[in-house]
Structure formats: C-alpha cells, structure tokens
Structure 1
Amino acid sequence: MGAVPGGLDTDTDLPLALPLRHFVVGLGFLALGALVGIGQVAGVVPGLASLAHAHLLLVGWVCVTIMGAMTQFVPVWSGASLYSPRLASFQLALVVAGLSGFVAALTLGAMAWLAPFGALLLLGFWTFAYNILRTLATVEEYDVTERHFGYALGFFCLLTLFGLGLAVDFTHPFTASLPVDHAHLRQAHATLAVFGAVLTTIYGALYQLGTMFTQSDLHGVDHSLQSVEAAAHPLGVVLLAGGRLVGSVPVARLGGLLVVAAALAMSAVLGRRLFEMQVEWEPMHTRYGVVTVALVAWAVSAVPAWISAPTAGAHLFGASGSVHLLALGVVGTVLVGTLYHIVPFIIWVERYSDRLGFEAVPMIDDLYDDRLAAADGALWVGGAVCLVGAAWLGLPSPVVAVGGVMVGLSIAAFAANMLLVVHEHGPDPFDRVLLGSLSPRPEPVAEDDSSPSDV
C-alpha cells in the first residue's frame, strides 16, 4: 500500500493509543490461544482446554480486534465523534479482566467463578455496544456498513447474555426446568458469536475495505448481490440461532440456507472487486483472494450438512470438519490482512502524513517487514490446508501436528511484525500504548522553546 487510500477522513479526536491498545491486547490473546491449542494437543493443559482455546481466539483475538476497529473506524467512516473515549478504554479493561478470569476458571476447573467473570465479559461488551450505538445515533442515514455494524452489536449483546446463562448453568442448572436445554443454548450462543457478531462485522467492513484497497466501486450486479447479502445474512443468523435454540430443524435449515446464500453473494462481491481493482496487486490482495475462495468452499460444503441436519453438533459451523476452513480461511485471514494495512495506516497518518512533501518519510507498506509478512502468509495458508485436509480426508495425526505448528509459527511472525510497527513507528512509547495512564513512564513535558539569547 504505497499511498493513502482516498475518501477516508482520519481527522478524529480519538487518541491513537486507544485502538492500538485493543490490537496489541488482541495479539497477546492470539498468542496465548495458540499456546493453549498446542498444549491441548500435547495433553498438558488441564480442565476444559478446548473451551479455553476457543474463547481465547474468538473472544480474546477476534472480538477484541473488532472492538478496536469499530472504535477507530465507525467515527471515521460515519463522520461522527466517538461518544465516549473513556467508555472505550473501560470496555477493554472489563473484557480483559473477564476473559482472563474465565479462561483461568475453565482450565483450573473452578466452575463457580465462570458466572462472575462471564458477567464482566457481558458488561464489557455491552459497554462497547452502547458506546458505538450512541455514536451511530448521530448519523442521519445509515449505509450498508453501518447497518451491518448495528446488527453485529445486537448479536454481541445476545451472545454474551446466552454465554452468561451457560456459565450460570454449569453450577446452577436452571435449564433443566426450561424447554431449552444446555446443549441447545450452547449451539445458539456459538451461532450468534461466529455468524452473528463476527461474520456480520466482517461483511460490513469488507464493503468499505474491498472498495478502498482495490480503488473500485460497486456497480451493476454488485448492488443486487449486496441487497441479497444484507437481507439474507442477519435474518439467516436469527433463524439459525433461534431454530437451534428451540430444536426446530425446519427453522434452522431455512436460516442456514440464508446464511449460505449471503456468503456466496459476499464472495462474489469481493471477487469482483479483486478482478476490477485499479491498483497494483499486493500481498493484501492475495489474502482477500484466499478469503474469497475459502468462503465459497465453506458455503458449498455447508449446504448438504445444513439441509440434512442443521441442529447436529457436528454441523455447528457448517460441514463436519470445516471449522478450520471458516476460522482460518475466512475469519483469520480477513483479520490478519486487515491489520496488516490498518495498523500501519493509522500510525502513518498520525506520525508521517503531515511531513509528506517536506521531508523523506516512509510509505505505509514500509512500516512493516514484507519478508515476515510473506512468511506468515505462506505458513498460515499452508497450515490451514493441512488442518482442513486432515479433517476432510482423514489424514494421519502428523499432518495435523504439522498444520498446527505452521499456524503457530505464522501467528508468531505476524504478531512480531505488528508489534515492531507499534514499537518503532508509533507516536507513543509501547508501554503507554499498552497500559495507558497506568504506565510508569511520565507524560512528556513540553520543552521551553526559549533560549538564553531570547531572554
């Protein structure tokens, strides 16, 4: 990305350290989730290791990154001021505290602590939703991205409510007296999380990012595809989650097919943007190409699974064995690719944009190491192919191990690259980005420009 994308007003009052703090914390949870996953395979992580692994990656990395991205770009894209930067900082503290305690309780078998830490998670995400909704309330007319973000915030509120119910049910099984049992509640919770909060946010962002970084516009059939996706996806998520919650196969089947139709429409829009792009092909476009192919493959494979048994546990995320295709090929690739241009972009705008034309300054893609980026991209795709292939083709366990190691190395390279960008080019010291006002480093004192000769 050699130039600043056009049409984007970055002149906001939001402190740069605030979204960066979300991204850095998300990277920390990503690394910890990868370690827990490796430890789970090795059999050295106690307790409910699979749940801890899933929450670290989905909540700790994906959702915290979404929180930071929305906090930064909803004001930018909507031309509004963030309702409360203080609430944005508070939301992160609540989620970090809640998730850390929740994962510790899962691994240590301290089930009584799941509900209190789950309540902190709920409070953190509801604070985030309230802050963004109050920001969007100042917008006169919503575009497709803003509507998707509004739907996603509603899904965030519902999924955390269901999650808290699941946490309470571990020690005080209230679902035993309800028509909805623990398994159905868990399925609805997972559906709202992955397809509701996460995919809805990603689709909304791709309408902006896809056009911005290909310098192309939606036209012709794109508008029809957008209308299909924008209507089918949120309705499909509601029906799929609701059908699973009450155990209704027909309702869940209809919802699943709507979600699949929306995924195919979104992949077509993204693919057309890549085909018609007006800039030179770069590594980030390759990542979006991977997303397009993976989204089509996931959607096509999900059709027979969700027609036959949409409420089956094995088909929670589509076809049996497709979880890595969705998680790594679609969600993870979008987040990694987006962070590779968003983090350097917002730092470049803050630190270097005003100096452009007056002195030699680096371009945006000069801020990160392109060799590390190429290496982590190859490792990520290679690891995903190994894991998906092992699940679908019944390949031996060494293939799974190789795939896991490749994804782990990719995560390490990606995290190192992003942290180096923040450390070397960020306008604030790294400890102040991470800790904010809790940093031991004192605030910089403005220097007195006067000299002895001026006195």
Structure 2
Amino acid sequence: MLAATPSQARVVPLTLPGGFFLLASLALAWGAALLALNPEALSAYRHPVVLAAAHLLLLGFGVGVLVGAMHQLVPVIVEAPLYRPGLGYGVMLLWGVGVPLEAAGFLAGRPEWVAVGGGLVLLALFTFGVQMGLTFLSAPRWNRVATALAWVTFYLVLTPVLGLVQALAPRYGFYDPERLVWHVLAGLGGIFLLAILGVGHKLVAMFTLAHGVREEVLGLVLWTVNLGLLGLALGERTGGVLLAVGVGLGGVDLWRILKRRTRRALDIGVRHYVAGMGFLVLTLGALAVGNVLVAGTWFVLGFVGLVTTGMLYKILPFLVWTHRYAPRVGREPVPMLKEMLPERAAYLAGVLFALGALLAPGWPQALWLFALGTLPYTYALWEVVRR
C-alpha cells in the first residue's frame, strides 16, 4: 500500500506529481468558469464552449491528476522502480501546453490550433505510455490493478490518436462522425471508467483498511467494460448492456470492500468516491432514456469530478507529508497526516460540486455552484502544500 512504502514514494520527486496536480487544478478552474459563464452551451454537445470545457475538465483536470498519480502509484503497485522519472517533466511540458492550446482552438474556431494542441498531447501521452510500459515490463509480479492501469495507459494513447484524426479529417476530406464516438468511448470509458474502478479497488481498500478482498470481481469488470466499449464502437447494442454490467460489477466490488473494512467511518476520499459512483448510476439511467447531454454532464462533473477531487484530497497530503515530514519523525514534532487537509473546505467544495453537477441539466445556472466549488477546493489544496 502507499502508506507502507515511503521509501518508494521518495523515488519520484514531489515536483513531478505536484506539477501535474497544479496544472490540472488550473484546467478545472478554467473549464468550470467557461461553463458557468456560458450555461446555454449545455444545449448542444458540439458547442465550442462545451468542447473546450470538456477537454479542460477531462484531458486537463482528469488526465492531469491521473497521470500525476500514476507516476507515484504504478511503482508501488507493480513493486518496480519507475522507468526514467525525468521523462515525466517532458510529458508535463507537452501536455501542459497542448491542452490549453486545444481549448483555445475550440473557443476561437481555429481547427489548426486544435490539431497542434492535440499533437502535443499525443506526443506527451505516447511518451508517458512508453515510460509506463517499460515500468510494467520490469514488474516482478502482476495483479489485476496493474492490468487495469495497463489498459488505462493504452487508452491514454488511443484517445488523442482518435481525436487528432478527427481534427485533421475535415482538412483532408476523410471526416467520419463515427470516429467522434470512438474518441468519446475511448476517453470516457477506457480512461476514466477503467481508471476509477481499477485504482479505486486499491485505494478504497487502503483508505478503509479492508483486508482479504479478492480481485476476481475486478477482473470481470475489466473484461465486461472493454468488451462493452468494443461493442459500442462497432454499433452493437449488446455493448451498452456489457458496459452496464461492468458498472454493476464495479458497484459489487465496492460493496465487498466496504463490507470488509475495519475503519468504520468513511473518510473524505471514500465519501467522494461513493458519491461519484452514485452519479455513474445516474449517468447510466440518462443514457437508458436516450438523454446523452444529461448523461455527459453527470459523468464529467459528477462522476469524474467528485472521484478525482476525493482521491486528490488523500493523495496530495500523503505525498507532501512523506516528502516533507517523514524524515523528521522521531527527531522533532511533525503534524499528523490527517491534520494536513482542511476537511471543512474540502467537504464544502464537494457539496458545491455535487449540487452543481446534479442540478445543471435542468437548471444550467447551477453551473455557478460547481464553479464556486473550485474556490474551497483550491484553498484546501493550498493549505496542504503550505504546511
């Protein structure tokens, strides 16, 4: 577990995941502000503001936190050192320039900016994929959480490839709207659904001190979600059924973990995770009745937003404490890990995020609640870093 391996955690400099978390938080604030200032954009999924905000919230915030965390998490899970940690700074630079360039391209109606930004992001995530792949190859043992992260790495590379093809297609006369569906499926399902269900299996068990939870259900989740995404990409309705089954199995896996927990009170990270899973159920319900825009809003703002912020509230304090205070333990007074995060601010942010996400489809002005949530969220993380 992360908390049991501080020596491994120090192998990766704090500035690497910390840099990704900082840039991701800026993308969150920009994307949330765009939606709040342009609530009418939710009426059309091809609206420039929606496209820009979706890339900021998903490719900027969600992927930024995920990639930053994987630099720290993968070596612990596979029990092998990260291959050339310095590569991460190049990944951060390319991704950190590419994402805002894409967003600006959507807003300004400049497809060439979108293509260049997408190319930079593709190069960044391809480099990250090579780095992760070589780390995986050095693993002395394997488990299903590692398998989930390997799949996530694959989709992290595939998604920008499909997006770049889509951006270049009108210019060269081979545009196909079906490829947009593939891009969305690879991004939402391949990256975020697999990452949250896969990494959540490990982190929720760790945060709740759950022991003896077997990984067979997680293995079934990986099979059903991947087959479901493939089916949907091929236009098969059974793909949707398999995807729903995968989500259901993810819920069963979460229930089994919580049933075996020894820490009865759920901490802030787990509460956010459970609330995010509730939004995932709402997303499936909206898809079942054919309301794609509502489903997308609940998935991005509710599911990804709550789970990602909740996990960050746990990961960042641990990293800061490990790098800054662990070497001083026993020699001078140091703060306890649970004292690192101002939880009232973090919970307030969670409430605003959840209400904004829940109400936005029927009352777009609620996007201001979501945007306001970025203020206590930023304060909470700043206090962690400042201590």
Deviation for aligned residue 1:173: 2.5
Match of 1:417 in 2: 380
Deviation for aligned residue 1:356: 2.7
Which of 199, 202, 208 is 1:208 aligned to?
202
Helix, strand or coil: the match of 1:107? Answer: helix
Change (3 A) 1:70 1:5: closer
After TM superposition, list the pairs within 5 Å mapping 1:15-414 onto structure 2. 15-41=13-39, 48-175=48-175, 181=176, 183-219=177-213, 223-241=215-233, 243=234, 248=235, 251=236, 253-279=237-263, 280-303=265-288, 305=290, 315=292, 321-388=294-361, 390=362, 399-401=363-365, 403-414=366-377
Deviation for aligned residue 1:75: 1.1
Change (3 A) 1:296 1:7: farther
Match of 1:311 in 2: none
Q: Is the 8 A contact 2:39 2:364 kept in 1?
A: no
Deviation for aligned residue 1:127: 0.8
Structure 2: any 5+ residue segments left out of the alignment? 42-46
Deviation for aligned residue 1:123: 0.5
RMSD: 2.1
Helix, strand or coil: the match of 1:322? Answer: helix
Q: Is the 8 A contact 1:9 1:77 kept in 2?
A: no
Change (3 A) 1:278 1:5: farther
Whose Rg is larger?
A: 1
Change (3 A) 1:240 1:217: farther
Change (3 A) 1:270 1:110: same
Percent sequence identity over aligned pairs:
26
1:286 is aligned with what amino acid?
Answer: R
Distance between the aligned counterparts of 1:159 and 1:6, measured in 2?
32
Change (3 A) 1:223 1:5: closer
1:236 is aligned with what amino acid?
Answer: G
Distance between the aligned counterparts of 1:6 and 1:17, measured in 2?
19
Change (3 A) 1:70 1:83: same
Distance between the aligned counterparts of 2:370 and 2:328, measured in 1?
38
Distance between the aligned counterparts of 1:329 and 1:110, measured in 2?
30
Q: Is the 8 A contact 1:210 1:273 kept in 2?
A: yes
1:211 is aligned with what amino acid?
Answer: A
- Per-residue Cα deviation, 1:176-201 (whole angstroms, up to 9, x for no partner): xxxxx2x1111110110010112111
- Per-residue Cα deviation, 1:139-186 (whole angstroms, up to 9, x for no partner): 1332111101111111122211111111112333223xxxxx2x1111
Deviation for aligned residue 1:234: 1.8
2:211 is aligned with what amino acid?
Answer: D
Distance between the aligned counterparts of 2:242 and 2:212, measured in 1?
22
Deviation for aligned residue 1:374: 2.1
Q: Is the 8 A contact 1:260 1:303 kept in 2?
A: no
Change (3 A) 1:207 1:9: farther
TM-score (norm 2): 0.91
Distance between the aligned counterparts of 1:57 and 1:144, measured in 2?
28
Across the two proteins, how many residue pairs are aligned to each other? 380
Helix, strand or coil: the match of 2:304? Answer: helix
Instruction: Indicate the structure with greater helix content.
Output: 2
TM-score (norm 1): 0.78
Distance between the aligned counterparts of 1:111 and 1:364, measured in 2?
46
Deviation for aligned residue 1:420: 2.9
Change (3 A) 1:326 1:109: closer
Helix, strand or coil: the match of 2:11? Answer: coil
Distance between the aligned counterparts of 1:204 and 1:72, measured in 2?
16
Q: Is the 8 A contact 1:30 1:411 kept in 2?
A: yes
Distance between the aligned counterparts of 2:54 and 2:335, measured in 1?
38
1:258 is aligned with what amino acid?
Answer: L
Moved more, 290-299 or 144-153: 290-299
Deviation for aligned residue 1:102: 1.7
Q: Is the 8 A contact 2:162 2:179 kept in 1?
A: yes
Deviation for aligned residue 1:77: 2.0
1:230 is aligned with what amino acid?
Answer: L
Q: Is the 8 A contact 1:112 1:171 kept in 2?
A: no
2:173 is aligned with what amino acid?
Answer: P
Helix, strand or coil: the match of 1:174? Answer: coil
Change (3 A) 1:421 1:152: same
Moved more, 10-19 or 288-297: 288-297
Q: Is the 8 A contact 2:57 2:300 kept in 1?
A: no
Q: Is the 8 A contact 1:271 1:289 kept in 2?
A: no
Distance between the aligned counterparts of 1:321 and 1:300, measured in 2?
10
Q: Is the 8 A contact 1:271 1:292 kept in 2?
A: no
Deviation for aligned residue 1:40: 2.3
Q: Is the 8 A contact 1:22 1:64 kept in 2?
A: yes
